[in-house]
Amino acid sequence: MTGSADKKPVEWRFETVPADEDNSRLDRFLRRLVPGLAQGSIERMLRNGLIRVDGAKAKANSRINAGQSVRLPPDLQPASTKPAPPSPHIIAHADVRQKFDDMVLAEGRGWLAINKPSGLAVQGGTSIALHIDGMLKALAAHTNGRLRLVHRLDKDTSGVLLLAKTLESARTLTEAFHRHKFEKTYHAIISRVLDESTIIEENIGRHPINRKRMAVTSNGKHAKSIVKPITNLVNSSHVEIKIITGRTHQIRVHMSYLNHPIIGDKLYGYRKNIFNKYPDLIKHIDPTFGQYLHAYSLSFRDNVSGKMKSFNADYPAQYNSLLENMNEYLS
């Protein structure tokens, strides 16, 4: 007897998404999992249902969560066993250690907090060679364990970033993060004067035309931000922002929606012509710095000691310089 009855069941390969891949794009996770895997191959297998997430079809740009199960074809292997040629941007371990040590803010038994500089990506991607995740992997080769990402910051957003020392801590802290058990406070220098505190509760989703942007949309995910003025500056304000939810680009989208885009954030509407009457100030806005948005403080319950932990991150030099010059201009 021949036919489908003689076929052996496919022994699928299953991979559980680790804590440090939480909220990663599916295609980027797959390329890290299977070095050399082509984007075209990923998209073809996804279209044909050969790769699934928790049993369901998914798209290349789908976001995956820690703990989800990714099903892969059993014969999916790296395209080549040859080691990849060294990147010209890879830095020696001693340099990584020095750069990393300079960022450390505080440390507990299960976690470590750093002050991420603006311009340093948290994870890699197209044309991004140096990033936090890569630094952690480089350090792991010379230590007994590997630090894992608990959450993320945009490349050009500076400030507090929390890392887990163990897989167990990563799972616990990541779960707490997604349950909004962390209190995060950001500071930003925004366009135009904001006279009073305001609560922004507007849904956020992918921009219908520019897919690189997010936008306030009726069918987006619920998002809530609380904005409070710290100091009014020259046609701008220094503000404190607390986010109750954690949507992609949430603060940047909400401030743009209020018509107070963050200074330096060209993607979301900042234009330097707001300072046309103050030409001396424009030279203090660093065009290479990105948005003037800083993750200033973080509070959470230590998963080992059970005690509340809270710490602040100093502003970057460019951020400080702009604040000081604006204050001097007003004095």
Q: What are phi and psi of 11, to 5 degrees?
A: -90, 85
Residue ranges per structural domain of the chain = 11-72, 93-178, 183-330
What is residue 85's predicted lDDT score, i.e. its pLDDT? 43
Q: Does domain 11-72 have CATH number 3.30.1330.50?
A: no
Q: What are the distances in angstroms from CA 230 to CA 197, 256, 274, 295? A: 10, 18, 20, 15
Q: Which CATH code fits 93-178?
A: 3.30.2350.10
Dist CA 24 CA 120 (whole Å): 17
Q: Please, are residues 300 and 163 in contact by the beta-carbon 8 Å criterion?
A: no
Dist CA 216 CA 202 (whole Å): 6
What is residue 300's predicted lDDT score, i.e. its pLDDT? 92
Helix, strand, coil % (nearest 5) of the chain?
A: 25, 25, 45
Give 64-84 as a DSSP string: E-TT-EEEE-TT---S-SSPP
Q: Locate tokens 């400080």: which residue?
A: 320
Task: Give 273: exposed, middle or buried? Use CB within 10 Å, 0-12, 13-18, 19+.
Answer: exposed
**Do 11-72 and 93-178 show the same overall fold?**
no
Dist CA 214 CA 246 (whole Å): 13
Cβ neighbours around 57 below 10 Å, total:
13
Cβ neighbours around 254 below 10 Å, total:
26
Total length of the chain:
331
- What angle, 0 to 180 degrees and rounded to 10, lies between the N-to-C axes of helices 132-140 and 93-103? 120
Give 103-168 as a DSSP string: HEEEE-SSEEEEEEPTT-BSS-BTTB--BHHHHHHHHHTTSSS--EESS---TT-EEEEEEESSHH
Q: What is the pTM of this model?
A: 0.73
Cβ neighbours around 234 below 10 Å, total:
17
Dist CA 230 CA 266 (whole Å): 23
Dihedral sign (CA 168, 173, 178, 180): positive
Catalytic residue among 20, 133, 154, 156: 154
Q: Name the class of domain 183-330.
A: alpha beta
Dist CA 190 CA 164 (whole Å): 32
Residue-wise pLDDT tens for the chain (331 aa)?
455 455 667 778 888 887 667 778 898 888 888 877 888 889 999 999 999 998 899 999 899 987 788 999 888 865 544 444 444 334 445 677 788 888 999 999 889 999 999 999 988 776 777 888 888 877 776 555 678 889 999 999 999 999 998 888 888 898 888 888 899 999 999 999 999 999 999 999 999 999 889 999 999 999 999 999 999 999 999 999 999 988 999 999 999 999 999 999 999 999 988 888 888 888 889 989 999 999 999 999 887 888 999 999 999 999 999 999 998 888 6
> Which residues are CB-neighbours of 92 under 8 A, at least 6 positions away?
none
Q: Has 265 been annotated as catalytic?
A: no
> What 3-state DSSP class applies to 301?
strand
